[in-house]
Structure 1
Amino acid sequence: MLLAGLAVFGLQALTDRYDRTVLKEQLLAPDARNARTDLSGPLNYLLIGTDRRPGDTNPEQRADTILIVHVPAGLRQAYLVSIPRDLLVAIPAANGYAGGQDKINAAYEHGGGGESGAQLLSATLARLTGLRFDGAALVDFSGIRQVVDLLGGVRMCVDREVRSIHTNRVFSPGCRQMNGAEALDYVRQRYDLPGGDYDRQRHQQQLLRAMLDRAGETRLRTNPVKLDQVIRAVGDSLTVDTNGVALEDLLFALRGLPPDALKGVQVPSYPQVIDEVSYVVLDNGGNGLFDAVRGTRMPDWAQANPRWVVRL
């Protein structure tokens, strides 16, 4: 999405630079991949945030962030559907894993991390939601931190005091400019928040919106050195699967997507302790959310379920 926003500064130059830096892998399992490549919409992309570094083969990795980016037909809106990382799901067998019930963020680890881990996670989501994805991306958090710094920081609004369990940093209520380390630290907190992981999901969605806003405000067009740095940082932080679609075609299709059309969506669910383990379970099968995402009814679902929708 950030790449699409930057595309207005020179599509050909952007794609050429990006293609030289980005890692391309088959992140989607065959049964999770959309057979068509029509970019008129609706489109569904899987976004996985991890601490994985390029070339990291350590299998003990879990997906810290799982997002479905749903773009309805017309490509003028986008819904960021956050999947609770503790959601109890059935994970298929793969790569020596026998399959079974577990938290959804464990699918990435059971698959061995990296390309195979993303494939098992996508297969798990396809089984859960009935979705077939038009593409996927693995996002390295350290790369996001670098992008935020190159953009000169982002404006984040803190609605209640948050103390980081990682750095002991205290985020006081109010709006302020955050650098990459601060923003990433803030959006990874969930303990001591009233909504727990639901608040964390909302904060991560807000960071994506803030990055898009900042990219639009920054005069990258007149600073080719900074533009090149941002493009390289974005490319270095991503592993992508475009489902056979040329990157230039994808960016051209998404170029008109405005940041203010983004909406955050949380999956209807609730926490539950099972055998002394904390999980999140679907509320009424997701209350029709996945049916809406599969088809053309997402705007209607969002209007009918305001409790689970946040305008970013």
Structure 2
Amino acid sequence: MLGVGLALALLAGLAVVGLRALTDRYDRAVADEQLLDPSARRERTDPDGPLNYLLVGTDRWQSGSAEDRRSDTILIVHVPSGGREAYLVSVPRDLLVAIPARNGHPGGPDKINAAYEHGGGGIGGTQLLSATLVRLTGIRFDGAALVDFSGFRRVIDLLGGVRMCVDTEVRSIHTDRLFSPGCQQMDGGTALDYVRQRYGLPNGDYDRQVHQQQLLRAMLDRAGQTALVTNPVKLDQLIRAVGSSLTVDTNGVPLEDLLIALRDLPAGALRGVRVPSGPQTIDSVSYVVLNNGGGGLFEAVRGTRMTEWARANPRWINPL
């Protein structure tokens, strides 16, 4: 689950020869960096065990300076053993956490999306964010991806747009576009504008998390419907567009091996998860605070009981 580039191969059902050719192109297009802090990196001891990936999205349209940007989206992608389902755990951007001291930053309590900024953005910001997450949750990661979501506009357009279902009328604070309830086909600019919105929604940032999860599902659905493997020119364009928006950390695992391990994962097997938490004002600052340490969610992600946890906690599962 390192982005749409992986989804294209997963959903196309390619033969091994075609898979190797595709991953070779993908490897040349996508930057591979050390995104994970050493404390947040998991050594793979069981090749058939569950997988945990960190997906960090940034909104470069807000600022040309990496130091001034905060991570707009933080997702923990959990794939239980067998690779037939996946859970998208959205970490609230305003979650109150203890950020470790790094690179001149003294550390201390802050909103979790500030970790990316305090780490200097980019690779350093993702490393500090991963170190903050492992301190909070105890979850160590098998890999990570850093996504420039504004750059994904081109990816969505190359896919022919995505079908999104608007649940609540909302007006964009960025473009003044009015989103009316109902299912509709959206181009890249419209879809990304929609999933950025949180003001004016009944549940604020929690609703935005659901919409971001739904966009990933919609992109995977669309990739599965598009005959990309029969159009090498368009496929190359798409891979280059993904590459310009994506930096990955595969934790030393060859991309081809990762694709094969996840080849049976359909888009319909994605489950959205809301971290058990709620808003709280502390010293006149609005935060999100965990309910009972996360209500057992992080323990389930660390182990092998995520499916059981989801079944026992339906209120925290988002419809996608």
Using the size of structure 1 for normalisation, the TM-score is 0.97
Question: Residue 4 of structure 1 contacts residue 254 of structure 1 at CA under 8 Å; is this kept in 2?
Answer: no
Counterpart in the other structure of 1:196 = 204
Question: Residue 43 of structure 1 contacts residue 73 of structure 1 at CA under 8 Å; is this kept in 2?
Answer: yes
Counterpart in the other structure of 1:109 = 117
Q: Distance in 1 between matches of 2:305 and 2:192?
A: 33
Counterpart in the other structure of 2:304 = 296
Counterpart of 1:229 (choices 229, 232, 237) is 237
Deviation at 1:51, TM superposition (A): 2.5
Counterpart in the other structure of 1:306 = 314
Q: Distance in 1 between matches of 2:45 and 2:74?
A: 23
Counterpart in the other structure of 1:280 = 288
Q: Distance in 2 between matches of 1:210 and 1:161?
A: 20
User: What does residue range 1-312 of structure 1 map to in structure 2 within 5 Å?
Assistant: 1=1, 2-7=4-9, 8-9=13-14, 10-36=18-44, 38-52=46-60, 58-312=66-320
Change (3 A) 1:302 1:233: same
Structure 2 counterpart SS, 1:107: helix
Structure 2 counterpart SS, 1:48: strand
Q: Identity percentage over the alignment?
A: 76
Structure 1 counterpart SS, 2:101: coil
Question: Residue 51 of structure 2 contacts residue 142 of structure 2 at CA under 8 Å; is this kept in 1?
Answer: yes
Counterpart amino acid of residue 239 in structure 2: I
Using the size of structure 2 for normalisation, the TM-score is 0.94
Structure 1 counterpart SS, 2:89: strand
Q: Distance in 2 between matches of 1:205 and 1:309?
A: 11
Q: Distance in 1 between matches of 2:255 and 2:7?
A: 13
Change (3 A) 1:57 1:242: farther
Question: Residue 37 of structure 1 contacts residue 244 of structure 1 at CA under 8 Å; is this kept in 2?
Answer: no
Q: Distance in 1 between matches of 2:23 and 2:192?
A: 27
Runs of 4+ in 1 over 3 A off after TM superposition: none
Q: Distance in 2 between matches of 1:269 and 1:64?
A: 18
Structure 1 counterpart SS, 2:253: coil
Structure 1 counterpart SS, 2:66: coil
Q: Distance in 2 between matches of 1:305 and 1:58?
A: 37
Question: Residue 164 of structure 1 contacts residue 186 of structure 1 at CA under 8 Å; is this kept in 2?
Answer: yes
Question: Residue 66 of structure 2 contacts residue 117 of structure 2 at CA under 8 Å; is this kept in 1?
Answer: no
CA RMSD of aligned residues (A): 1.3
Deviation at 1:139, TM superposition (A): 0.2
Structure 1: gaps of 5 or more residues: none
1:159-191 per-residue CA deviation (whole Å, 9 max, x = no partner) reads: 110110000000000000000000000001000
Structure 2 counterpart SS, 1:49: strand
Deviation at 1:282, TM superposition (A): 0.2
Q: Distance in 2 between matches of 1:275 and 1:258?
A: 45
